[in-house]
Structure 1
Amino acid sequence: MVDRKDVGSWLEGPSSRTQGTGEWPGQRLGLAQHGPGSVARFGRRFVGLVIDWVVALLIAHGLFQVPLPFSEHAATGTQSFIVLGIFAVMNVLLVGTIGTTIGHRIMGLQVRSVAGGRATPAQALVRTVLLCLAIPAVIWDRDGRGLHDKVPNTVIVRVR
């Protein structure tokens, strides 16, 4: 059962619930406090997400002539869904097979199952659907895991 004390949001930030308690994000999951094997912090995850979105946008531009941001033509709603669809397919395929997206790889991150090892294809699918809904990604627990990671029982960790 998820308790309100365990769930925060981007308004509070994950550190507000663990400051002064001697706990760190991921301690309850048996993860390291710092370095490889620790829970990836928001900044690294956000940069990885931006990289993945740019890659999806470039693929959409190349395959479907979706206008790039800041061009003279704005993308339509349908074109925006094309980019989201490409982003989703990239996430399901890459996280479900190698455990990392292009942005995650660049930032030194990997999606792992809390049970151990890489995320399964089923976990990657559930995680991606929730990530694409956006709201679950901005609500997280004291371990820094968004609902898009909590539901499929995954966690993003640093690999370097």
Structure 2
Amino acid sequence: MSKQPRWTQTWIGGTRAAGVDLGHPGERLGLPREGSGSASGFGRRIGAITVDWLICTWAIAGGLLRVDPRSAGWVGFAVFAAEYVLLVGTIGMTLGMRLFGIRVAALDGGRPGFGAVVLRTLLLCLVVPAVVWDRDGRGLHDRAARTVVVRL
């Protein structure tokens, strides 16, 4: 009797361990495997959001606005959301994203619309949608806004 391929998924190894090739992240969206326009990795995205958070809470809320340290977190959070709406809505990236060489794009490759940017920002601020990813590296906030983060 010949050995048949195992089509079931394993909970430890995932679909690749079961012999299913899912392609590279972003392939279903028509994105290249590497280089400019490819789906951004998790590390770049975490680095960019960390830089943005530090800029908004320490430099802007704590330094420029001179907010009381006890409420600097909330003011920084509001500045963070405003930064995302303003910068992603106009130039497609925040300061942290620029440093890490990534940008937010609509699924057609252009800039996302204002409504999509606001929805994406609100869901990003809820945190949970941003940490639940699909196989293309898109969080729930990206899926809802019909956006993808790509490399420059």
Superposed pair shares fold, TM > 0.5 = yes
Show CA shifts across 1:23-45 (max 9, x none): 01100000000111100000011
State the 4+ residue runs in structure 1 displaced beyond 6 angstroms.
Answer: none
1:99-110 map, 5 Å? 99-110=92-103
- Is the alpha carbon distance of 1:89 and 1:18 closer, same or farther for their aligned partners in structure 2, counting shifts above 3 Å? farther
CA distance in 1, matches of 2:54, 2:151: 22
State which structure, 1 or 2, has the greater radius of gyration over its C-alpha atoms: 2
Aligned length: 138
CA shift digits 1:108-153 (9 cap, x unpaired)? 1110001330111111110000000001011011100001111000
Structure 1 unmatched runs, 5+: 1-11, 68-74
Give the TM-score, by structure 1 length: 0.79
RMSD over aligned Cα, in angstroms? 2.0
Asked whether the 8 Å contact 2:56–2:79 carries over to 1, the reply is yes
Aligned residue in 2 for 1:46:
46
Give identity over the alignment, percent.
45
Secondary structure, counterpart of 1:106 in structure 2: helix
Other-structure match for 1:150: 143
**Structure ranking higher on relative contact order (CA contacts 8 Å, 6+ apart):** 1
Amino acid at match of 2:75: I
Corresponding letter in the other structure for 2:55: V
3-state SS of paired residue (1:111): strand
